[in-house]
């Protein structure tokens, strides 16, 4: 099967991701940080990718990272199913939850969108409109 | 029947099979956000558990492999951030201000509305990480000692509503810049919203994943402090 030929890069990528996670967990435990170790692992990988000598690590992680991110949702099905356990609590507070989640969602969305649009527009103008901005120029 | 249900890999096979079916259905149905595979799968599997009488705790144990993959998947979120690194760094003041203002408003409204209604603190804590991409939100929920399933479901609801009404809402508010649209969607509706933003354009999708990851990092730092204030 041709799939087998893809296996080594996938495994290598997974090893890099797990090592970054382990390093993050170790750092969080050693320094008693209140931050989840996986998040520190994420930051470590960003730093590794931004520095030239270690940038190759993120390229090697890509074959495992891309499918994991594509099917990220699959990993949340088991905890999501747990809602049957919480259904009663959820139903009892349905209205406040809907208002809090819906309200904070809608207001944050519009506010963040308008704010960033205004800031980016100002930034692009200051840099001169001729190709100064990022690749989102064609948007307006 | 009970021999099949209690087979140690039953949960894993069930979840994989249902997800594969839901994924195909989503593709066929023109990627309708209401048919988001995770939502369909959760409902189908919950029904199957009820019908077969398999306890949730045992199902969760049977899915250990998926739980183990959550860690590396979270670390992999570094990749979309790196892919959009240059555009983000060149606009860092705008991105930072939006991140801070957006995060503060989101937390303030969630806490404000739920306290005004006098909801249990346990529910409030579970609602806090709702705008954070689930792998990180899950770790935050654990640190807050909130109910993890409840937090995951509230996160899913937030993501799906973002994917369903987000783009229309932004158009209504006359946000036309692709970068701003993507970032706002990623900030509020994480992975599910990001997959929707990707269908708008690659730029919107890239900025959406950046918004999602940056928001996760910011919330990791902020929410434990907020949670401590709420419970003290």
The ipTM, to two decimals, is 0.78
Residue B103 and residue B192 in one domain = yes
Mean pLDDT for the stretch of residues A6-29? 89
- Which residue, B229, B205, B209, B206, is CA-closest to B217? B209
Domain match, B31 and B88 both: no
* Domain end point (choices A41, A70, A99): A70
* Out of A69, A104, A116, closest to residue B180 by CB: A116
Distance CA B219, CA B225 (A): 10
DSSP letter assigned to residue B7: S
Q: Inter-chain contact B76–A21, Cβ cutoff 8 Å?
A: no
Write down the pLDDT at residue B19.
Answer: 95
Could you read off the pLDDT of B145-196 as tens digits, one per residue?
A: 888 888 888 888 788 777 778 888 999 999 999 999 999 998 888 777 777 7
Is residue A131 located within the same domain as residue A107? yes
**Domain tally, chain A:** 2
For helices A37-50 and B202-231, angle between their N-to-C axes, nearest 10 degrees? 140
Extract the tokens encoding B224.
């434990």
Q: What is the pLDDT of residue A132?
A: 41
Q: Give the nearest partner residue to B45 out of A77, A95, A138, using CB atoms.
A: A77
- Tell me which residue range forms the domain holding B16: 1-62
B3 and B78 co-located in one domain: no
- B120 and B193 together in one domain: yes
The verdict on residue A52 lying in a domain is yes
Q: Which of A9, A39, A70 is the last residue of a domain?
A: A70
Please report whether residue A2 resides in a domain: yes
Please check whether residues B2 and B91 belong to one and the same domain: no
| Closest to B116 (Cα-Cα) out of A17, A95, A39 | A95
Pair (A49, A95) in one structural domain: no
Residues A7 and A50 in one domain: yes
Least confidently predicted of A19-33, A96-110, B90-104: A96-110
B163 and B227 co-located in one domain: yes
- Residue A129 has a pLDDT of 57
Least confident range of A112-126, B73-87, B99-113, B164-178: B73-87
pLDDT score recorded for residue A7: 56
Residue B193 in contact with residue B208, Cβ under 8 Å? yes
Whether residue B164 sits in one domain with residue B84:
yes
Please state the domain count of chain B.
Answer: 2
Residues B97 and B48 grouped into a single domain: no
Q: Is residue B77 scored above 80 in pLDDT?
A: yes
Please report which confidence band the pLDDT of residue A39 belongs to, taking 50, 70 and 90 as the band edges. Answer: confident
pLDDT at A138 over 60: no
* Mean pLDDT, rounded, for B70-85: 85
Work out the angle between the directed axes of helices B64-75 and B10-28 (0-180°, nearest 10).
60
Q: A135 is written with which tokens?
A: 């690749």
A6 lies in the same domain as A62? yes
- Residue A93: give the domain boundaries: 83-140
Measured distance CA(B161)–CA(A90) in Å, rounded:
17
Compute the CA torsion angle A19, A24, A27, A30 (nearest 10 deg). Answer: -90
d(CA B93, CA A53): 27
Higher pLDDT, B97 or B139: B97
A97/A124 same-domain check = yes
Do B40 and B118 reside in the same domain of the chain? no
Q: How far apart are CA B139 and CA B221, in angstroms?
A: 12
Q: Is B187 on the interface with A (CB under 8 A)?
A: yes
Q: For chain B, what percent of residues have pLDDT higher than 90?
A: 24
The answer to the question of residue A78 being in a domain is no
Cβ of B78 and A101 within 8 Å?
A: no
- Which domain-ending residue is among A45, A70, A95? A70
- Mean pLDDT, all residues of chain B: 86
Q: Give the per-residue pLDDT at B221.
A: 86
Both A2 and A64 in a single domain? yes
Which of the residue ranges A53-57, A63-67, A86-90, B216-220 would you say has the lowest mean pLDDT? A86-90
Looking at the fold, whether B77 and B144 belong to one and the same domain comes out as: yes
Residue A109 domain flag: yes
Q: What is the pTM of this model?
A: 0.78
Do A56 and A13 have their domain in common?
A: yes
Both A120 and A56 in a single domain?
no
Q: What is the pLDDT of residue B154?
A: 83
DSSP of A64-98: HHHHHHHTGGGGGHHHHHTHHHHHHHHHHTHHHHH
A38 domain-assigned: yes
Same domain as B225, residue B159: yes
- Residues comprising chain A, all counted: 140
Residue with tokens 């240059």: B86
The predicted pLDDT at position B132 comes to 83
Q: Do B198 and B162 lie in a common domain?
A: yes
CB contact under 8 A, B41 and A77: yes
Comparing CB atoms, the residue among A34, A41, A90 nearest residue B143 is A34
Among B36, B12, B38, residue whose Cα is nearest residue A83 = B38
How far apart, in whole angstroms, are the C-alpha atoms of residue A4 and residue B49? 34
B88-125 pLDDT, tens per residue? 888 888 999 999 999 899 888 888 888 888 888 888 88
Write down the pLDDT at residue B45.
Answer: 94
């Amino acid at each position: 099967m041709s799939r087998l030929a893809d296996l080594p890069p996938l495994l290598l990528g997974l090893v890099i991701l797990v090592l970054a996670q382990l390093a993050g967990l170790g750092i969080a435990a050693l320094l008693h940080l209140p931050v989840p170790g996986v998040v520190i692992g994420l930051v470590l990988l960003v730093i590794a990718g931004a520095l030239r000598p270690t940038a190759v690590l993120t390229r090697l992680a890509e074959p495992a990272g891309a499918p994991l991110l594509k099917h990220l949702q699959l990993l949340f099905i088991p905890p999501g199913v747990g809602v049957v356990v919480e259904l009663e609590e959820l139903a009892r507070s349905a209205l406040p939850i809907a208002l809090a989640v819906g309200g904070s969602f809608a207001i944050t969305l519009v506010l963040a969108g308008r704010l960033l649009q205004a800031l980016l527009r100002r930034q692009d103008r200051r840099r001169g409109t001729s190709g100064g901005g990022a690749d989102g120029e064609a948007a307006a | 029947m009970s021999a099949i249900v209690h087979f140690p890999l039953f949960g894993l096979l069930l979840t994989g099979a249902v997800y594969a079916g839901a994924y195909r259905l989503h593709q066929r149905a023109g990627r309708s956000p209401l048919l988001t595979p995770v939502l369909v799968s959760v409902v189908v599997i919950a029904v199957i558990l009820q019908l077969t009488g398999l306890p949730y705790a045992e199902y969760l144990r049977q899915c250990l492999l998926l739980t183990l993959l959550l860690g590396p998947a979270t670390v992999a979120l570094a990749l979309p951030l790196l892919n959009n690194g240059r555009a983000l760094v060149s606009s860092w003041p705008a991105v930072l201000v939006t991140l801070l203002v957006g995060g503060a408003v989101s937390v303030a409204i969630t806490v404000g509305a739920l306290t005004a209604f006098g909801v249990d603190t346990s529910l409030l804590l579970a609602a806090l990480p709702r705008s954070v991409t689930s792998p990180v939100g899950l770790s935050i929920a654990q640190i807050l000692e909130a109910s993890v399933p409840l937090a995951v479901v509230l996160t899913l609801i937030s993501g799906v509503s973002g994917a369903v009404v987000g783009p229309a809402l932004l158009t209504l508010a006359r946000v036309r810049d692709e970068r701003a649209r993507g970032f706002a969607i990623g900030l509020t509706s994480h992975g599910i919203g990001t997959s929707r933003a990707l269908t708008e354009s690659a730029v919107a999708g890239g900025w959406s994943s950046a918004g999602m990851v940056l928001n996760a990092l910011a919330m990791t730092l902020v929410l434990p402090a907020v949670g401590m204030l709420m419970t003290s």
